[in-house]
Structure 1
Amino acid sequence: MIDERFAADCLGPVEEAVRRAAAAEIMPRFRALTADQVAEKHGPHDLVTVADRGAEAHLTTALTALLPGSVVVGEEAVDADPGLYAELAGDRPVWIVDPIDGTRTFVRGDEGFCTLVALAHRGELLASWTYAPVHDRMATALRGGGARLDGVPLRTGSPADGAPLEIAASFPFHATPAAKRALLHLRTEGVHTRPCAGSAGLEYVAIARGVLDATVFAWENAWDHAAGLLLVAEAGGAHATLDGSPFRLAGDNLLPFTTARDVATVGRIRRLLLGDRPVR
């Protein structure tokens, strides 16, 4: 494993790298994109912009310089070379990067997007950074060292007794029929489910702050989830895939999976999602 002191010592330098990437590549293009700066990757629901690509390139240079021998598994790099995703199961330290989490939101000119970075080694998350550049808010987490938002410690707490659970749920258009059916099980008394606001990373921040009870997602791209999973865990929350196992960064998770303010809420939501479905 990487020396744990490195993960702690890199919190500040990585935060600065994320801020610089956003200042150089993202914010100058916010509400200033031209048509030729936006493209579809795999359809109209999957967009990429020059800001995504520029920010990921910026971060790749900065992060690998901080940790020689490491590799970046970024959304745009994996789109160009899907084999790169296998690095998540390898021996090299991995920076997991989503340069703009919520690209469609960014393209619309809405404020609800962020930049996500996580450091992992051999499948274990060590540190994470979630940056909302419009509002200049930075959430960080260090394995065993807690979670913070703008330097202030975060605690998830637990849902209020008797209050409906507030859940943000999002199933992509290509989710399996079984996963889509699972969402219907959340339509029950005591549960209020709304669509994900557009950025998975910001939903995880809401859980860590204790203002959202849980999320349910039916896709497993590590760049969408890695930073938030560590943030919530270090703030006192929990997560589980449908078979009860922890989320695996390298994939092959039984979906959908849930992240929540506490273990009891994870169990409650998982039971609802299962319904009468057998676990593989």
Structure 2
Amino acid sequence: MIDDFVSAHLTDVEEALRKAAAAEITPRFRQLAEHEIVEKSGPHDLVTIADRSAEEHLTTSLTKLLPGSVVVGEEAVHADPSVYEALHEDAPAWIVDPVDGTRQFVHGEPEFCTLVALAQGGETLASWTYAPVLDEMAVAVRGGGAQLNGTALQAGSPELGAVLEVAMSHPDFTTDEEKRALLGLRAPGVHSRVCGSAGLEYLNVARGTLDAVAFSWELAWDHAAGLLLVAEAGGANLTLAGEPFRLSGGNALPFTAARDAATARRVRELLAG
């Protein structure tokens, strides 16, 4: 039944994202007042009025599209951590990051996006990645492929012998143990850099302009949409334990998502030391 909903309402969800962004996000781009920006846990963890308003907008529109569904949104979970438990329950769950790349948004940079994924029973069924200023809409359906602005995405494989390009977690969001693991990416033949918007980094992997990502946190709103996008574009993911990433949590970190399985294995081996 839920698969029937996905096939029938893909464009309706796209439209919901576009409307939320047009109403709540893009009018505030480069227009934020100082009091509309708040630090949550530190200077790299920001929330704005656009984040909160867009999540409220999407919560209303998405649950109206799919009665009986629930929303697990970044800002709702920040206000009430018990909301996250909906990922372990039976109801279909919309996983929402209203502004992924809030730091970029605050600084007036266009590289931010809205992420929505539909999951049930620990499986991500469909995902939407929308970068309104860049005018990019990426959609993935489990078993149905991935598209960017209506064109099929194929991650492909890195060129043989080429330097691997990897985007990784910001050091401020890592434990000492995770920092040591990420140091493995300073290996010969690898060029690593700090990631920007997680959703757009996943999109770069899915379209083959970035070889891999390596992340040290597992919050579903940052990863559910992108992991499905990469998988449906032909990519792969592995945790530090060599297992696929679990949406339900408890993953061995850091984990990687890459353009192909061989690259995922190589990055995982570097992380494991």
Query: Percent same amino acid among aligned pairs?
Result: 66
State the TM-score, normalizing by the size of structure 2. Answer: 0.98
Maintained 8 Å contact 2:111/2:134: no
Equivalent residue in structure 1 for 2:206, among 205, 208, 221: 208
Q: What does residue range 94-173 of structure 1 map to in structure 2 within 5 Å?
A: 94-173=93-172
Maintained 8 Å contact 1:85/1:250: no
TM-superposed CA distance for 1:194, in Å, is 1.2
Query: Any idea what the Cα deviations from partners look like across 1:100-122, whole Å, max 9, x if unmatched?
Result: 00001100101110000000001
Q: Does 1:253 align with 2:254?
A: no
Partner AA of 2:227 in structure 1: L
Paired with 1:172 and 1:269, the residues of 2 have a C-alpha distance of 18
The equivalent residue for 1:57 is: 56
Maintained 8 Å contact 1:171/1:180: no
Partner AA of 2:252 in structure 1: L
135-144 or 245-254, larger mean C-alpha shift:
245-254
Query: Any idea what the Cα deviations from partners look like across 1:22-55, whole Å, max 9, x if unmatched?
Result: 0000000000000111111122221111100000
Paired with 1:190 and 1:8, the residues of 2 have a C-alpha distance of 42
Secondary structure at the aligned position of 1:252 is classed as coil
Secondary structure at the aligned position of 2:41 is classed as coil
TM-superposed CA distance for 1:75, in Å, is 0.3
Secondary structure at the aligned position of 1:127 is classed as strand
12-21 or 185-194, larger mean C-alpha shift:
185-194
Q: How many residues align?
A: 273
Paired with 2:135 and 2:198, the residues of 1 have a C-alpha distance of 18
**Alignment gaps of 5+ in structure 1:** 276-280
Paired with 1:28 and 1:187, the residues of 2 have a C-alpha distance of 40
Q: Which runs of 4+ in 1 moved over 6 A?
A: none
Maintained 8 Å contact 1:172/1:218: no
Equivalent residue in structure 1 for 2:219, among 198, 209, 221: 221
The equivalent residue for 2:84 is: 85
Paired with 1:109 and 1:201, the residues of 2 have a C-alpha distance of 18
What's the C-alpha RMSD, in Å, of the aligned pairs?
0.9
Partner AA of 2:129 in structure 1: T
Partner AA of 1:257 in structure 2: F
Equivalent residue in structure 1 for 2:266, among 253, 268, 271: 268
Paired with 2:219 and 2:2, the residues of 1 have a C-alpha distance of 26
Paired with 1:81 and 1:6, the residues of 2 have a C-alpha distance of 29
Maintained 8 Å contact 2:171/2:179: no
TM-superposed CA distance for 1:211, in Å, is 0.8
State the TM-score, normalizing by the size of structure 1. Answer: 0.96
**Alignment gaps of 5+ in structure 2:** none
The equivalent residue for 1:278 is: none
TM-superposed CA distance for 1:174, in Å, is 4.1
Query: Any idea what the Cα deviations from partners look like across 1:134-160, whole Å, max 9, x if unmatched?
Result: 021100001111000000000000000
TM-superposed CA distance for 1:250, in Å, is 2.2
The equivalent residue for 1:34 is: 33
The equivalent residue for 2:186 is: 187
The equivalent residue for 1:18 is: 17
Partner AA of 1:188 in structure 2: A
Maintained 8 Å contact 2:173/2:216: no
Secondary structure at the aligned position of 1:247 is classed as coil
Partner AA of 2:133 in structure 1: V
TM-superposed CA distance for 1:3, in Å, is 3.0
Secondary structure at the aligned position of 1:130 is classed as strand
Partner AA of 2:17 in structure 1: V
Maintained 8 Å contact 1:40/1:46: yes
TM-superposed CA distance for 1:76, in Å, is 0.2
Secondary structure at the aligned position of 1:42 is classed as strand
